[in-house]
């Protein structure tokens, strides 16, 4: 009889696991990337986002990986909760030995991950969190952000909205970091162009728990001439439906952040609002060569059309690969040095991660909503280059901690 004690059994199991992870004899050890997002918290955006990074990951590894090694992604769901995101981040760094973190959707979750990155001296590529604080007042050298911030998108929308004769404005936004920062950013952008504006009402519904009737009634009672809306997802659908029923939008201009994104516009179907000024993603009409290649590959792999989340996930993985390749290493300090000023090719064109604040120059599509064949689309749109809506390096010094 052969007797194997517990210690020998554990060692054998560890050796077997290591052999399986290493793959076939001679195969290069993978570079492990930690990925965290709110998959159960907002699947409409994050599941297409996951498709995007999975497509990019497959393409990168088909080309031989990075530094002669395949990339391996270890993904975790934070459920939209900062505490769960931090637990996942700690596990990924301490136990899974990932070389960096990427992802994040909700702004308060992104801020928690950015703080973790600074404390643990781990590179974090924030894909989606939009709050300005992520790269400015709470920015740190370990955090880089891909998508255009609320200030950038607010400024894009304000260019058109400031031309309207409307002076009395109301706002409605979810009552957490993203909503608050978006309203503040739009007010600031409008104040620069229209100091004569009057803000007559604010509504702050709890995210995913909007009571649309009272919200719409309160806005209507203030009798604004225009409305700035930041609700999205299920809250947006309820707000649009109740607003149309009660005539809130009749004769009023509406500026709506993100509403042109398929994630939020498509579910409205024939109830989609008409004439709203929005940021979004008209994937069906973009003729750029890089986007056409992305669209073709995405549809071939998933038999579906991309959402904006798909582009963000794809571009985030492209950025990770480009940073590691430029660094020639997975050392954190070398990757940070490589990331500052790097140019990354994306489906929306090349974007640069600025050295001054680690914000990428990715832009956004700005246009009007319309109905076509019974569903919402974007018309009269243009691509606004993010670089044109960012503060100068001198201004950044005043915004970042320590100047």
In this prediction, residues 363-376 reach a mean pLDDT of 97
Number of residues in the chain: 403
What pLDDT score was predicted for residue 296? Answer: 98
The percentage of residues in the chain with a pLDDT greater than 90, rounded to a whole number, is 92
What confidence tens digit (pLDDT) does each residue in 84-120 have? 999 999 999 999 999 999 999 999 999 999 999 999 9
Name residue 369's beta-bridge partners: 378
Angle at alpha carbon of residue 316, lines to 312 and 321, rounded to 5°: 150
pTM equals 0.91
Largest distance between two CA atoms of the chain: 91
- Per-residue pLDDT at 158 exceeds 70: yes
How far apart are the C-alpha atoms of 288 and 385, rounded to whole Å? 14
Pairing of strands 277-280, 364-372: antiparallel
**151-286+365-389 has which CATH code?**
3.40.50.2300
DSSP result, 180-248: HHHHHHHHHHHHHH-TT-EEEEEE-PPTT---HHHHHHHHHHH--SEEEE---HHHHHHHHHHHHHTTT
What pLDDT score was predicted for residue 42? Answer: 87
Two tokens, residue 38: 């709110």
Two tokens, residue 349: 């064109």
Q: Write down the number of H helices and E strands in the chain.
A: 13, 14
CB burial of 338-356 (b: ≥16 within 10 Å; e: otherwise) equals: bbbebebebbbeebbbbeb
Which candidate, 60, 48, 58, 103, places its Cα nearest to that of 305?
48
Phi and psi at residue 16, to the nearest 5°: -65, -45
Q: Which of 14-28, 214-228, 276-290, 386-400 has the lowest mean pLDDT?
A: 14-28
What confidence tens digit (pLDDT) does each residue in 159-187 have? 999 999 999 999 999 999 999 999 999 99
In this prediction, residues 319-345 reach a mean pLDDT of 98
What confidence tens digit (pLDDT) does each residue in 49-77 have? 999 999 999 999 999 999 999 999 999 99
What is the DSSP secondary structure assignment for residue 268, as one 8-state letter?
Answer: G
Name residue 203's beta-bridge partners: 172
In this prediction, residues 142-171 reach a mean pLDDT of 97
Fold: same for 29-148+287-362 and 151-286+365-389: yes
**pLDDT higher at 12 or 303:** 303
What pLDDT score was predicted for residue 28? Answer: 86
Residue 138 CB coordination number (10 Å): 17
Two tokens, residue 102: 């990427």
- Per-residue pLDDT at 6 exceeds 60: no
**pLDDT higher at 285 or 26:** 285
Average pLDDT, rounded, for the chain: 93
What pLDDT score was predicted for residue 17? Answer: 38
Listed by start position, the domains of the chain span: 29-148+287-362, 151-286+365-389
In this prediction, residues 23-31 reach a mean pLDDT of 68
Confidence category of residue 403, pLDDT binned at 50, 70, 90: low
How far apart are the C-alpha atoms of 269 and 267, rounded to whole Å? 5
Domain 29-148+287-362 = CATH 3.20.20.70? no
Pairing of strands 351-352, 343-344: antiparallel
């Amino acid at each position: 009889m052969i007797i194997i004690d517990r210690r020998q059994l554990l060692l054998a199991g560890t050796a077997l696991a290591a052999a399986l992870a290493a793959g076939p004899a001679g195969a290069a050890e993978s570079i492990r990337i930690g990925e965290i997002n709110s998959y159960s918290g907002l699947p409409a955006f994050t599941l297409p986002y996951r498709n995007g990074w999975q497509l990019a990951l497959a393409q990168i590894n088909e080309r031989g990986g990075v530094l002669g090694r395949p990339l391996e992604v270890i993904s975790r769901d934070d459920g939209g909760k900062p505490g769960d995101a931090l637990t996942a981040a700690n596990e990924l760094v301490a136990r899974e030995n990932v070389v960096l973190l990427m992802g994040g959707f909700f702004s308060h979750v992104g801020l928690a991950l950015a703080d973790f990155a600074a404390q643990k001296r781990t590179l974090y590529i924030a894909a989606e969190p939009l709050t300005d604080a992520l790269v400015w007042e709470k920015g740190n050298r370990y955090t880089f952000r891909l998508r255009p911030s609320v200030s950038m998108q607010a400024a894009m929308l304000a260019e058109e909205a400031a031309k309207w004769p409307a002076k009395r404005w109301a706002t409605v936004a979810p009552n957490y970091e993203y909503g608050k920062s978006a309203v503040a950013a739009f007010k600031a952008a409008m104040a620069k162009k229209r100091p004569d504006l009057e803000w007559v009402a604010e509504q702050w519904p709890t995210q995913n728990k909007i009571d649309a009737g009272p919200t719409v009634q309160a806005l209507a009672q203030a009798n604004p001439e225009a409305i700035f809306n930041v609700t999205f997802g299920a809250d947006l659908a309820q707000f649009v439906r109740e607003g149309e029923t009660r005539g809130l939008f009749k004769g009023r201009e509406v500026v709506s952040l993100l509403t042109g994104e398929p994630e939020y516009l498509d579910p409205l179907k024939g109830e989609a609002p008409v004439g709203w000024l929005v940021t979004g993603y008209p994937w069906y009409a973009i003729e750029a060569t890089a986007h056409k290649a992305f669209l073709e590959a995405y549809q071939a792999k998933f038999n579906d059309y991309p959402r904006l989340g798909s582009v963000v996930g794809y571009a985030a993985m492209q950025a990770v690969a480009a940073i590691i390749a430029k660094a020639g290493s997975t050392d954190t300090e070398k990757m940070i040095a490589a990331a500052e000023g790097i140019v990354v090719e994306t489906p929306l064109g090349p974007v640069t991660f600025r050295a001054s604040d680690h914000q990428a120059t990715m832009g956004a599509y700005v246009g009007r909503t319309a109905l076509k064949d019974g569903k919402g689309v974007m018309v009269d749109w243009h691509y606004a280059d993010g670089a044109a809506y960012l503060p100068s390096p001198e201004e950044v010094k005043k915004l970042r901690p320590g100047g």
